[in-house]
Amino acid sequence: MLKREEIRIRDPFIYTDKEAGCYYMYGTTSVLPGTLAAKCNFSCYKTYDFENFEGPFVLFDAEKEDFWADRDFWAAEMHKYNGKYYLFGSCKAEGKCRGTQIFVCDTPNGHYTPLTKEPITPRDWECLDGTLYVENGQPYMVFCHEWVQIKNGEIWAMPLSADLKAPAGEPKMLFRASDNPDVSELHAGKGTYVTDGPFLWNEDGKVKMIWSSFYKGRYLVLEAEADSLLGEWCHGGSRFDFDGGHAMVFTTLEGKRMISLHKPNTANLERAFFTEF
């Protein structure tokens, strides 16, 4: 059993397992010491109280598989969809663009297998942090086109086939990082703006999104909303003032809405943080 403070994790993603009466925590779980680089595997932890954790349970290890990527397995998140458990994670290899790969399993913490041989994001784009959002029965992958390739990071939505194995149409850009007027340059004077970690849900007839960037000089969770996924997005700031982000929203077994994120955004010090939202 591990205490929360003993687990270094970035981008913590919580799945509430109502049937088992517990929670699973995914994310970037194999970060190399002193860096943001990561090994080539995904793992998860199991908890009942957000302070004591079982695991890690290895979900996928590329060293034991014939797989296209071999480094920087980032930001895993898990979605239950049509009776299966789907892991979305960002991966990288030398000479290949970073992309979001989808994996599938019959249980939340079992052995996941790649749904396709290649990532679902465009292969000539540097992409990361793909998430699943379903609108009117249509599944979408919402993902980031990364600033390292285009300088001003973007968030895109791409319709997927019902089995999540292929695009079902062309992707559409939702917004750029600089569309939020208080987003700060990553490198001053170089026009670089970050988009990280989109997560979406429905509330009060609106599509709500949280995402992360450097806002007023700190890495923070930002808010945005639209009437529909492909509609016009309106931007807000952060409810928090600490250095942390890449968040998601979940509901506890008792029905309380919470946010999960990592803080601080400093190599070696990152820990999962949970609070009401």
**Strand blocks (E) in 147-265:** 154-159, 172-176, 196-203, 206-215, 218-226, 234-235, 245-251, 257-263
pLDDT value of position 277: 96
Query: SS3 sequence, 44-59?
Result: EEEECCCCEEEEEEEE
Structure confidence at residue 69 as a pLDDT band (50, 70, 90): very high
What is the pLDDT of the chain when averaged over all its residues?
A: 97
Query: What is the DSSP secondary structure assignment for residue 184, as one 8-state letter?
Result: P
The whole-model pTM stands at 0.97
Give per-residue pLDDT as tens, 100-158. 999 999 999 999 999 999 999 999 999 999 999 999 999 999 999 999 999 999 999 99
pLDDT value of position 57: 97
Helix, strand, coil in percent for the chain, rounding step 5: 5, 55, 40
pLDDT value of position 188: 78
pLDDT value of position 250: 98
pLDDT value of position 153: 98
The two tokens of residue 107 are 């249980």
Give per-residue pLDDT as tens, 250-264. 999 999 999 999 999
Residue 170: pLDDT above 90?
A: yes
Q: How many helices (H) and strands (E) does the chain have?
A: 1, 20
Residue 213: pLDDT above 90?
A: yes
Query: What is the DSSP secondary structure assignment for residue 190, as one 8-state letter?
Result: T
Question: Region 270-276: what's the mean pLDDT?
Answer: 98
pLDDT value of position 189: 82
CA 217 to chain CA mean position, Å: 22
pLDDT value of position 3: 98
Q: Are strands 245-251 and 96-105 parallel, antiparallel or unpaired?
A: unpaired
Structure confidence at residue 68 as a pLDDT band (50, 70, 90): very high
In 49-65, which positions are buried (b, 16+ CB within 10 angstroms) versus exposed (e)? ebeebebbbbbbbbeee
Residue 233: pLDDT above 90?
A: yes
